[in-house]
Structure 1
Amino acid sequence: MRAFLYVFLTVILFGCQQDKQKTNDKATSEASGQASGTQGMESTGNATNVYWGDTHLHTNLSLDAALGGNTLGLDEAYMFAKGEQVTSSTGLSAKLSRPLDFLVAADHSDGMGLFQSIEAGEEWIMNTAQGKRWNSMIKSGEGAEASVELIKAFSQKTMDMEPNDPELQKSVWSMTVEAAERHNNPGTFTAFIGYEWTSLIDGNNMHRVVIYRDNKDKTINYLPAVTYDVQDPESLWKHLSAYQEQTGGKVLAIPHNGNLSNGLMFAETRINGEPLDESYAKERSKWEPLLEVSQTKGDGESHPFLSPNDEFADFETWDFGNLDFSAVKTKDMLEHEYARSALKLGLKFKNELGTNPFKFGLVGSTDSHTSLSTADDNNFYGKTPHAEGGADRWKKPFMASDKGTIYDWQSVASGYAAVWARENTREALWDAMKRKETYATTGTRMTVRFFGSFDYNQDDLDNLVDKGYEKGVPMGGDISNADGKSPSFMIHAVMDPEGGSLDRVQVVKGWANADGTLGEQVYDVDWSGDRKIGSNGKLPAVPNTVDLEDGSWDNATGATELKTFWTDPDFDPAMEAFYYVRVLEIPTPRWTLYDQLKYNIKMDDEVPLTTQERAYTSPIWYSPN
């Protein structure tokens, strides 16, 4: 990073302020004796700090992770997330350059304990042809291949055995809860209790990560929902509702990888084929306040087919087929798979039903199956253990079927969840997730603030946070009652001190027209350098300064921070609308370039070697009513 020194002081000063707040949070929590959290208390007050974490990590308790060679358990996963050095499943030393603030070990609820039974060759396993085959494959070192077979058998409902033994599930769930309790340290590190609900409808991904606000006393005796027999998300919502009614606890769910659902994730009908109604809309909005928009299996903000005028929409696009690659993708599916199009569909249903079923905020997470929660391109351990390292990992098949092959070079070093909260506790972070005061990144740890109101003025930028809350709402909020005004927004982005400087800040707007059609517009609202908007309405691209010979780049081409006040020039007070912020870094090395340099190899020309990291905030919604 040849020109980094000139931005060093500004970024370090900002970071010191953040670290000071975290230290104060820790001292406050410890002084209050919060060793077991603040169960039942509401997290109140304006968010003062951003916390970084991963809401979606798998350990060797997940069947597919264990079959794929993951030997690391919950303790190692938490240790790694907290910044400690561990040894990976393939013998590599692994450590984060910066610890995370929180983690959800979201092991699959289906098949809990099944791998251990297969590996041990237990009688009930060996009585089935599949069990014998998978046991033999594990012993011969073909666990990854067995994992692919098992995923297909599970998704197509062709398993010879019952994947969910209640006693096994109870035992593994107890291990999950106890580990989270051991590693949860209010004020310093939050270990959420959670799991992944793994619905696969004919191979179409409908997965959700479930996250509890609660501690052991409420969660340990309430087993997770499973999906092998009932895969409709409405059954999960009923399960979550029953949990809250019976325990007095709180829980939410986060869908992910709509890009692998083949049009099912944001379909305009229920799973049973009936049209969406107000009851469905209210339930989905209640239980699913967030969407995981970026992870190792592709970015899910938008697609170039859906957003042809957005030159940044084709980012780490996975549009091959469904999760097990049993069916290919067709263009008519895309509208019901990506975040931006789903947010627009939500406005349409708001007009029709009175409630928006797709009113979600955004987070990123890894979905790593290695127990190593890293989205850093220069420290990427792959999606699965077979891709943790090595000169040939880029060309190994990630998924292969008669429909084609997806290779490991197409895996993405993404993403992280950023949460604005007052303190680092289960309660404060969960409450922030519920109110959608979150944003997603593709691995960068840039800091982003976003506020909206009808009452801001340019001078409010000088006291952005206080005025932002006092006169308006943060990301995830709602504004209404235009009263003859256009909405204004305050945005502040600060670069990641270990990443690329900032290229630009964009506001993405979506709206519903009176005739039921939907629209979108991307506005460049602030940027680095002296570039000017061209006659085509586009801002020229920032130079790509990445040196492919040594992996360096020039941060002088971008900005340390971008801060702006913007008013919608095309506002129509009669139309439902949403606004979210996308912040782009300048180009930096992708993990594939770091591998190419590390192993002194030459990858195929189709392999991208640079990337443009970004952040997506949760939207702010406008409603005429």
Structure 2
Amino acid sequence: MFWGDLHVHTAYSLDAYGFGTLRTPAEAYRFAKGDAVGSPAGDVQLDRPLDFMAVTDHAEWLDLMYTCTDPRMSAHPYCVKLRNQSTQETGGTVFRDFVNPTITQAQPAKADVCTDDPSACDDALLSQWERMQQQTNAANDPCTFTALNGFEWSATPNYSHTHRNIIFAGDNVTPTPVDYIRFPEIDQLYSQLEAGCRAEDGCDAITIAHNMNMGDGKSFDVETESERTLALRTRYERLVEITQEKGTSECLPDYTHRESLGECGYETYITSHSRQKPLADFEEEEWERMRSSYARGLLRRGLLTYANRQDAEGNPLQVGFIGSTDSHTGLGGYVEEDQWQGTVFGIGNFERNMSRMGFNPGGLVAVWAEQNTREGIFSALKNRETYATSGPRIALRFDAAKVGEVPACKAGGALAPIAGGTPMGSTLPEASKAAVFRIAVTGDKAPLEKIEIIKGTLKGESYEESVIPVWQSDKGEANACVIWSDTEFEPAAPTYWYARVTEVPTPRWSSYICQEAGRCEEFPDADVKIQEHAWASPIWHLPTR
């Protein structure tokens, strides 16, 4: 099992640089490996270095950042204004004047810079992409630390996040990153990957959706997409990022229960067109559309798509789970609640942190891989042998037993896979007549409180969803192991199951910061506790219809 972060931004991203981030990809990788680095909050260092990481800077601005900041430092007035305003204090102006027009309207932020010599920006894009690859490849250290090439496609039409991180298997990548400005539709992203990252050239890639909680239900139009797009989606869209600094995207309750989010209420950051909005202000259609692209909504729609589109190439929404940070400070894996000093908007500044209290340190991705190498890590990602945590390094094995066998289960024992079983992220044998699962968990710094199975099943045209408690400890335990048999399993019904682990309550980052400042009375919403989670990628049963 290896720990990583697949969503990290550096000074090569305009929205990071605009708030004062100067850290390069090379420096971000050094931090991930355990080096101490400076920040507005003082020197910071990971207590536990990462095993793997990907810098995923925004493709839309690579040429602009190369031209205006490093290394060309153009004297064009547009670039001078950008550099002068890129501080934590004035970053909001950069976001308004430079960032938003690019990703919300697909307009080149570099238009003024490139008018006289458009080819110079083309060269800048190639140069910046090459620099990113060089720094990533140099950081890669097989069996010690895996650095994965990647970038972010940052489609935000009308402020609705439909972003994707693209992760490559090795050092063979697309000729240029695929950006939202030139390729504004999701099927264009897939097509560019298909054309520019060919298996015969030793290239492979996956796409990872994130911030579905800020997507207003867009970008997963499987009910209306062409068969070609569905096939490409099935090929590339292997994972979704279920938690990160801008909130958790596991689930929302149905509209009638929106006032009390219940078990879906962990680190919610609920928006309409990327702007926070009171729950009571959502209309039913708007709410239901939004919740349909949360992770659990995608699993539901995947079952419906599988059942109703028999000619589709597999299940286009058969996705696994990861967590990551979406750090815009270049500090990948910096997720400890008692150490985190804020997002790029306010790192090291108490007032600005309090104004962004809805944000959080983000999560991590764990993979079950045989080796810490590019081949091993990417294979696990592509096979969905992954799980997400909200930050803690909870060791979690979720698998299904071989038909007719009952697996061994020992709390605190070795988390070896079940021989002949079905691992997380995979599909039960089609002829399965029973579904027996093992959930083995070793806690991190805080005790474990409960384990639940979330199940969705399609019976005819009716979708049923349930949250099933399978283990609980009122006092909290360091380890747990559970064998759970689905006594209501129906071999003819398409079904998914995933495990969710919950820790006992512990202080949130905002509580640590307000207590340190002695100002919790001014910000009572800051001095709270949360319950951290881990989410295993689902196991499916998909009988032939």
**TM-score, structure 1 normalization:** 0.78
Alignment counterpart, residue 336 of structure 1, candidates 267, 292, 295:
292
State whether residues 335 and 361 of structure 2, in contact with CA within 8 Å, keep that contact through their aligned partners in structure 1.
yes
Give the distance between the partners of 2:131 and 2:159, measured in 1 at CA.
29
Find 1:256's aligned residue among 210, 226, 233: 210
Superposed, which structure 2 residues align to 1:250-329 within 5 Å? 250-269=204-223, 275-305=224-254, 308=257, 311-323=262-274
2:347–2:353 Cα contact (<8 Å) kept: no
Q: Write out aligned runs for 1:380-391 (5 A).
A: 380-384=340-344, 386-391=345-350
Report how far residue 370 of structure 1 moved.
0.2
**Deviations 1:299-353, CA, capped at 9 Å, x for gaps:** 0001133695983211111112223679996313223220001101000000111
Equivalent residue number for residue 198 of structure 1: 154
SS in 2 for 1:595: helix
**Counterparts of 2:480 and 2:415, CA distance in 1:** 18
User: CA offsets, 1:406-425, max 9 Å, x none?
Assistant: xx111012200000001100
In the alignment, residue 125 of structure 2 is paired with which amino acid?
Answer: Q
2:11 to 60, 63, 69: 60
> Using a 3 Å threshold, how does the CA distance of structure 1 residues 213 and 116 change in structure 2: closer, same or farther?
closer
8 Å Cα contact 1:113-1:168 kept in structure 2:
yes
What are the residue-to-residue correspondences of 1:582-621 with 2, within 5 Å?
A: 582-602=500-520, 603-607=522-526, 609-621=528-540
CA distance in 2, matches of 1:158, 1:109: 13
| 1:623 pairs with one of 529, 534, 542 | 542
Distance 2:526 2:89 in 1: 29
CA distance in 1, matches of 2:166, 2:466: 33
Between the aligned partners of 2:189 and 2:177, the Cα distance in structure 1 is 9
8 Å contact kept, 1:456–1:471? no
Shift of 1:467: 8.3
Query: What's 2:118 paired with?
Result: none
Please tell me whether residue 479 in structure 1 is matched to residue 431 in structure 2.
no
Query: Displacement, 1:286?
Result: 0.7
Taking a change above 3 Å as real, the CA distance of residues 121 and 222 of structure 1, as seen in their structure-2 partners, is closer
Q: How many Å apart are 1:623 and its aligned residue? A: 1.6
Amino acid at match of 2:541: Y
For residue 347 of structure 1, the aligned residue among 297, 303, 322 is: 303
What aligned pairs does 1:521-560 form with structure 2 within 5 A after superposition? 521-529=466-474, 557-560=475-478
1:444 maps to 2:392: yes
Gaps of 5+ in 1: 1-49, 270-274, 397-407, 530-556
Kept in 2: contact 1:265–1:336 (CA 8 A): no
Tell me the amino acid that sits aligned with residue 507 of structure 1.
I
Per-residue deviation, 1:468: 4.4
Q: Contact (CA 8 Å) 2:8, 2:327: kept in 1 or not?
A: yes
Q: Which residue of 2 aligns with 1:503?
A: 449
Q: Does structure 1 conserve the Cα–Cα contact (< 8 Å) formed by 2:53 and 2:146? A: yes
Q: Which residue of 1 aligns with 2:496?
A: 578
Any conservation in 1 of the 2:514–2:526 contact (CA below 8 Å)? Answer: no
Deviation at 1:486, TM superposition (A): 2.4
**What letter matches 1:518 in structure 2?**
Y
C-alpha spacing 1:161/1:80, structure 2 compared with 1 (3 Å): closer
Alignment partners' CA distance in 2, 1:326 and 1:71: 32
Distance in structure 2 (CA, Å) of the matches to 1:170 and 1:415: 31
Deviations 1:467-508 (A, max 9, x none): 84423210011014456x321001100101xx2110011110
2:9–2:57: 8 Å Cα contact kept in structure 1? yes
What does the per-residue CA deviation read over 1:374-409, in whole Å, with 9 as the maximum and x for residues that have no partner? 12111213221x42123323323xxxxxxxxxxx11
Pick the aligned partner of 1:379 from 314, 324, 339.
339
Residue equivalent to 1:533: none
- Aligned counterpart, 1:122: 74
Q: How does 1:63-102 map to 2 (within 5 A)?
A: 63-88=14-39, 90=40, 92-102=42-52
Contact 1:254–1:291 (Cα < 8 Å) also in 2 = yes
Q: Does 1:173 align with 2:124?
A: no
RMSD: 2.7
Deviation readout 1:242-271 (Å, 9 max, x if unpaired)? 1232623111111101111111033355xx
**Quick one: structure 1 residues 243 and 160, their matched pair in 2 at CA, closer, same or farther if it must change by over 3 Å?**
closer
Once residues 472 and 88 of structure 2 are traced to their aligned partners in structure 1, the CA distance between those partners, rounded to angstroms, is 55
Report % sequence identity.
Answer: 28
Q: Could you tell me how far apart the structure 2 residues matched to 1:409 and 1:140 are?
A: 17
Equivalent in the alignment of 1:242: 195
**Preserved contact between residue 494 and residue 561 of structure 1 (Cα < 8 Å):** yes
Q: Distance in 2 between matches of 1:363 and 1:333?
A: 23
Aligned partners of 2:203 and 2:106: how far apart in 1? 33
How far apart, CA to CA, are the structure 2 residues paired with 1:91 and 1:280? 45
Matches of 2:498 and 2:256 in 1, distance apart? 15
* Distance (Å, rounded) in 2 between the aligned partners of 1:513 and 1:307: 23
Call closer, same or farther: CA 1:490–1:209 in 2, change over 3 Å.
same
1:390 is aligned with what amino acid? N
- Structure 2 vs 1, CA of residues 486 and 222 (structure 1 numbering), >3 Å: closer, same or farther? same
Q: Is the 8 A contact 2:458 2:464 kept in 1?
A: yes
Q: How far, CA to CA, are the matches of 1:428 and 1:454 in structure 2?
A: 24
Please state how far the C-alpha of 1:445 moved relative to its aligned partner: 0.4
For 2:129, what is the secondary structure of its paired residue?
helix
Deviations 1:439-459 (A, max 9, x none): 000001000001114525445
Gaps of 5+ in 2: 115-120
Amino acid at match of 1:266: F
Instruction: Call closer, same or farther: CA 1:313–1:53 in 2, change over 3 Å.
Output: same
Question: In structure 2, what residue type is equivalent to 1:78?
Answer: Y
1:174 aligned partner, one-letter code: E
Given candidates 291, 309, 315, the residue that maps to 1:356 is: 315
Cα gap change, 1:176 to 1:573, in 2 (>3 Å): same
Asked if 2 retains the 8 angstrom alpha-carbon contact of 1:306 and 1:335, the reply is no
The count of aligned residue pairs is 520
1:171 to partner: Cα distance: 1.2
Contact map agreement 2:415 2:440 (CA 8 A) in 1: no
Cα displacement string for residues 122-144 of structure 1 (whole angstroms, at most 9, x for unaligned residues): 36x53x6xx67545534896234
Counterpart Cα distance in 1 of 2:219 and 2:247:
15
